[in-house]
Amino acid sequence: MSSIALHKHDIYVKLLDFNEHELKAVADYIESMQHKKKATGGKILKLEGILKGHDIDFSALKKFRKDTWKHVDKEASGE
């Protein structure tokens, strides 16, 4: 039996005990992986090392994240 077939069988056995909600989450994850694979042409992009030696200012990203999640903080605090 090929290693791919063994992996598929192992995954199937692990899925046997999952409930409907858990199986939906697994299916969604698989779809996202398939979408990423299709979007990258089947290649996994590794960015490690590309920005080595470059100074990166994350302050704008931190501000964007803070502003984006501000409504969640307001709802959580009851405002």
Residue 7: pLDDT over 70: yes
Q: Is the pTM of this model over 0.85?
A: no
Give the tens place of pLDDT for each residue, 12-68: 999 999 999 999 999 999 999 888 888 777 666 666 677 777 777 788 888 888 888
Amino acid at 18: F
DSSP string, 3-62: HHHHHHHHHHHHHTT--HHHHHHHHHHHHHHHHHHHHTTTPPP--TTTTTT-----HHHH
Minimal CA–CA distance to 11: which of 23, 28, 21?
Answer: 23
pLDDT for residue 45: 62
pLDDT for residue 44: 64
pLDDT for residue 72: 74
**Residue 50 tokens, joined:** 């590309």
Contact 70, 79 (CB under 8 A): no
Instruction: Show me where the domains of the chain are located.
Output: 3-77
